[in-house]
Chain A
Amino acid sequence: SQQGEEDPQALSIQEGENATMNCSYKTSINNLQWYRQNSGRGLVHLILIRSNEREKHSGRLRVTLDTSKKSSSLLITASRAADTASYFCATSGNTGKLIFGQGTTLQVKP
């Protein structure tokens, strides 16, 4: 069953703007990962944040994690047309299995 909920489901912005996606989950986790998927192809791993971390950066990506609210956010700064894709959060517990959110479809207009 799907644990995560993401919002918004769809987001359309202009190139250069920032994009923020949110993810909520229900059970306790060991880590939370964000993935990108272009046009139904394979998933590209973006960033992993552990349950004892609150914020992480990677290039133009910033991820936050609030375990008290069971939520995470992904911020993409200075967006580009190439960032157009679907973005998924996925949580992992002790078993290593990932439970995915429903995803956010991002469109960046040139």
Chain B
Amino acid sequence: SAVISQKPSRDICQRGTSLTIQCQVDSQVTMMFWYRQQPGQSLTLIATANQGSEATYESGFVIDKFPISRPNLTFSTLTVSNMSPEDSSIYLCSVGGGRLDTQYFGPGTRLTVL
């Protein structure tokens, strides 16, 4: 299994500002994903973070709102831009997956937007 850390673990932000969340893995991984979990809801995939190229976004998520970087095989960032209270959620990164692989999750970043 992979050990995944996220920073920050939680934050309270003002409307209109941006927050960058970091995800660090203890080993090189091919596949890295970002998910959102709104209060009381299940997880929804935001995008697949691709190393060396632009992220692949799911329907309903756009790069201007959720820019993602993946400079190498162990690190990725997700920025939540121009935040509104509706962005209050837990944001989780995950690694692994694929046809046969288990997917492991980081501890999550709990974001509250006032």
Give A residues with C-beta under 8 Å from B. 1-2, 30-31, 33, 35, 40-43, 45, 48, 50, 88, 90, 92, 94-103
Complex A-B, nearest 9 residue pairs according to Cβ-Cβ distance, in ascending order: A96-B97, A42-B107, A43-B105, A96-B98, A100-B43, A100-B42, A30-B99, A42-B108, A96-B31
14 contacts between A and B (CB under 8 A): A2-B42, A30-B100, A31-B99, A41-B107, A42-B106, A45-B103, A90-B43, A92-B103, A96-B31, A96-B97, A98-B33, A101-B42, A102-B41, A102-B42
* A45 contact set on B, CB distance < 8 A: 1, 102-105
B76 CB, min distance to chain A CBs, angstroms: 15
B92 at the interface (CB under 8 A from A): yes
Residues from 14 to 65 in B contacting A, C-beta threshold 8 Å? 31, 33, 35, 37, 41-45, 48, 58-59
* A103 contact set on B, CB distance < 8 A: 42
- B interface residue count range (under 10 / 10 to 19 / 20 to 34 / 35 or more): 20 to 34
Q: Which of B92, B99, B107, B110 has the largest count of A CB atoms less than 10 A from its CB?
A: B99
Q: Known: A41-B108, A45-B104. Contact between A97 and B44, CB under 8 A?
A: no
A7 CB, min distance to chain B CBs, angstroms: 14
* A88 contact set on B, CB distance < 8 A: 42-43
Q: Which residue of A lies closest to B43 (CB)?
A: A100
A95 CB, min distance to chain B CBs, angstroms: 8
* A96 contact set on B, CB distance < 8 A: 31, 33, 48, 96-99, 101, 103
Residues from 76 to 110 in B contacting A, C-beta threshold 8 Å? 90, 92, 94, 96-108, 110
B40 CB, min distance to chain A CBs, angstroms: 9
Are B42 and A31 in touch, CB under 8 angstroms?
A: no
Are B42 and A98 in touch, CB under 8 angstroms?
A: no
